[in-house]
Amino acid sequence: MSFYVTTPIYYVNGEPHLGHAYSTIAADILARHMRQRGEDVFFLTGTDEHGEPVAQEAEREGVTPRELGDRYAPRFKEMAAKIEASNDFFIRTTDQGHMDRVQEIVQRVHDNGHVYEGVYEGWYCPRCADFKTESELGPGNTCPIHQIPLTRETETNWFFRLSSFQEDLERLYAKRPDFVQPDFRRNEALAFIRQGLQDVSLSRPRLKWGVPVPWDTDQVIYVWFDALLNYVTALAYAREGEDLTGRFWPAFHILGKDILKFHAVYWPAFLIAAGIEVPKGMFIHGYLLMEGHKMSKSLGNVLDPDEVIAKFGADALRYYCFREVSFGQDGQISPAGFEARYETELANEFGNLANRALAMTERYRDGQAPEAELDPAIAADFEGAPDRVRELLDEARLTQALEEIWKLVRRLNQYVEETRPWDLAKEDGEADSLDQVLYTLAEGLRVTTLLLHPYMPETTGRLLDALGEPSRELAELGSQEGGRRIERIPPLFPKLEAEPAA
């Protein structure tokens, strides 16, 4: 089976921030998890470099749009590397390979009879690069997203006959109830479709920065179609001399709620018009909000991803984003909240569990996992856990899956407290019991750490090496026998240093 996951491509009109990182980490967790399951995975991210938002910013900065792209695209590439994204390709919409294929597909939509020339009049937001319908307008004819006054614009351009796809889309949504997740986003998209679809501009006449319309090179293709098509075009040229389309398409898209309409309505309609299979599905996430939070002792009052990564590592940031806010919903994050979870969950619960398991095996069994039977109590509690996580991640429910995994972490900590291996070690005649506890603990920790691996690849990789587990595939409890070498390693999540006294 193949699995193709994408992030939105990011505008190169500013620095990457936590919102971009959030989408990318989500896609990365899914990509890594699917690789663990032995799926044939392709993970795509990249930059959207055409259109008005980029042209305007370039003008403000006195550079060409191309120069702006060349400045910021590497910043987004660096961000991906910094947050440990394992993307297989990084697309830039200024790639010739992309632009050629955009023209081909748009020409096909035209030749299939879904494009006509017309006059458009409406409220236009240059920062969204989108016309707003009357029902979308904010008070005083403003953009509800950017809160800027909009201008009424009239232009002659090429239109995509979106209105003629209303029934196709309603059928698609009826046939595939999970096409858009979570459900409340699906309902939002469906309500938009049912209120009646209007045709949309396929080109912009006044803008020079973009992919030329193949049959009318005075116009450029509207940036949204250019951008959406990246998901398809990348597969055709990401690997030299090889077209990956048949192997990986259709994709599963991760995106934020602000671009729902383009992905859930325009995009499948445009694909149908081009004779291309619609996406496998999409998951729409909410926003991480930082409002009215308390100061924290080490991070001040803003959760700056670069600072968090420098001080605590990318894994801690990855964990926190999906632990603190239920993926799909909006939610508050804060430096204080980050520190609390770092200390109580990563350092105390998981880090300490790992440390105890490794240290006790070293102290009592000379660093060798004992040969023993699993403790049936733990075996029962772990029963089916990897399957539950798989099912949740099949639906991109990243927070619920993490919650399932964390139950295992807590269960193992409880197990250590219940069995008190340090007492067993002191008593004669308890050697078998101690073997069983240490073996069960090593196995439980191995299985749990494998499940956590997509969320925190670097620290879990170190721990799996220490546990003598060379594979990263998901495993059932008891699938590894005792006898392997276990090593002690420094704490995975070192405790915060106390602030020096003033």
> Is residue 293 among the annotated active site residues?
no
Interface segment toward Zn ion; rule CB under 5 A; list 143-151, 386-394, 405-413, 472-480: 143-151
CB of 282 to Zn ion, least distance (A): 21
Residue 128 a catalytic site member:
yes
* CB-CB contact of 145 with 257 (8 Å): no
Closer CB to Zn ion, 11 or 173, in the complex: 11
Q: 33, 98, 110, 125: which is the annotated catalytic residue?
A: 125
Could you tell me if 203 and 216 are in contact, meaning their C-beta atoms sit under 8 angstroms apart?
yes
Nearer to Zn ion, 143 or 354 (CB): 143
Q: Where does this chain touch Zn ion (CB under 5 A) — which range of 1-9, 70-78, 136-144, 209-217?
A: 136-144
- Closest approach, Cβ 58 to Zn ion, in A, equals 18
Does 128 sit near Zn ion (CB under 5 A)?
A: yes
Give the one residue of 63, 137, 145, 489 binding Zn ion; rule: CB under 5 A.
145
Using CB under 5 A as the binding criterion, the count of chain residues that bind Zn ion stands at: 6
CA distances in angstroms from 143 to 125, 137, 227, 264, listed in the order given? 6, 6, 21, 20
Instruction: State the catalytic residue, choosing from 208, 297, 311, 426.
Output: 297
Q: Which tokens hold the place of 367?
A: 């660093």
Q: Does 202 bind Zn ion (CB under 5 A)?
A: no
> Considering the rule CB under 5 A, would residue 271 count as an interface residue with Zn ion?
no
Our finding on whether 129 is near Zn ion (CB under 5 A) is no
Stretch that binds Zn ion, among 145-153, 179-187, 272-280, 335-343 (CB under 5 A): 145-153
For 298, the 3-state DSSP assignment is coil
The nearest distance, CB 257 to Zn ion, in angstroms, is 14
Minimum CB distance to Zn ion smaller for 130 or for 469: 130
- CB of 141: closest distance to Zn ion in angstroms? 12
Site string for Zn ion, 107-126 (x = CB under 5 A): ------------------x-
Cis peptide before 182 (omega within 30 of 0): yes
Beta bridge partners of 203: 221
DSSP assignment of 311-363: HH-HHHHHHHHHHHS-BTB-EE--HHHHHHHIIIIIIIIIIHHHHHHHHHHHH
Nearest distance, CB of residue 137 and Zn ion, angstroms: 11
Q: Which is nearer to Zn ion, 130 or 435 (CB)?
A: 130
The one segment of 137-145, 156-164, 412-420, 422-430 that binds Zn ion by CB under 5 A? 137-145
Q: C-beta of 128: minimal distance to Zn ion in Å?
A: 3
- Scanning 28-36, 127-135, 313-321, 425-433 for contacts with Zn ion by CB under 5 A, the matching segment is 127-135
Q: Which stretch binds Zn ion (CB under 5 A): 100-108, 140-148, 176-184, 467-475?
A: 140-148
**Is the CB of residue 33 less than 8 Å from the CB of residue 454?**
yes
Cα 348-438-447 angle, rounded to 5 deg: 65
146 catalytic per annotation: yes
Nearer to Zn ion, 142 or 166 (CB): 142
Letters for 75-114 (x = contact with Zn ion by CB under 5 A, - = none) are ----------------------------------------
For the question of residue 321 being annotated catalytic, the response is no
Q: Is 127 in the site for Zn ion (CB under 5 A)?
A: yes
The strands making up 212-213's β-sheet, listed across from edge to edge, are 203-204, 216-221, 212-213
Q: Which of 146, 311, 426, 495 is catalytic?
A: 146
Q: Kindly list the distances between the CA atom of residue 258 and the CA atoms of 10, 53, 123, 144, in Å, as whole numbers in the listed order.
A: 13, 15, 18, 10
| Shortest Å, Cβ 208 to Zn ion | 22
Q: Is the dihedral of CA 398, 400, 404, 407 positive or negative?
A: positive
Selected range binding Zn ion among 135-143, 182-190, 203-211, 383-391, rule: CB under 5 A: 135-143
Q: Is 467 helix (H, G, I), strand (E, B) or coil?
A: coil
**Single residue of 79, 143, 211, 308 touching Zn ion by CB under 5 A:** 143
What distance in Å separates the CA atoms of residue 124 and residue 131, rounded to the nearest whole number?
4
C-alpha 453/C-alpha 83 separation (Å) is 14
Residue 17 is a catalytic residue: yes
What's the angle, vertex CA 62, arms to CA 58 and CA 67, rounded to 5? 55
Which of the residues 33, 50, 128, 453 is marked catalytic? Answer: 128
Q: Which of 17, 60, 71, 146 binds Zn ion (CB under 5 A)?
A: 146
Q: How far apart are the C-alpha atoms of 454 and 390, rounded to whole Å?
A: 12
- Determine which one of 33, 143, 261, 263 is catalytic: 143
Question: Three-state secondary structure along 399-466?
Answer: HHHHHHHHHHHHHHHHHHHHHCHHHHCCCCCCHHHHHHHHHHHHHHHHHHHHHHCCCCHHHHHHHHHH
Say how many CA atoms lie within 13 Å of 442 toward its Cβ: 34
CB of 145 to Zn ion, least distance (A): 4
Residue 124 contacts residue 151 (beta carbons within 8 Å): yes
297 in active site: yes
Determine the angle formed by the axes of helices 398-419 and 352-365, rounding to 10 degrees. Answer: 40
The Cα-based distances of 493 to 262, 339, 458, 496 in angstroms read: 41, 12, 11, 9
For 251, the 3-state DSSP assignment is: coil
Active site residues: 17, 20, 125, 128, 143, 146, 294, 297
Residues near Zn ion (CB under 5 A): 125, 127-128, 143, 145-146
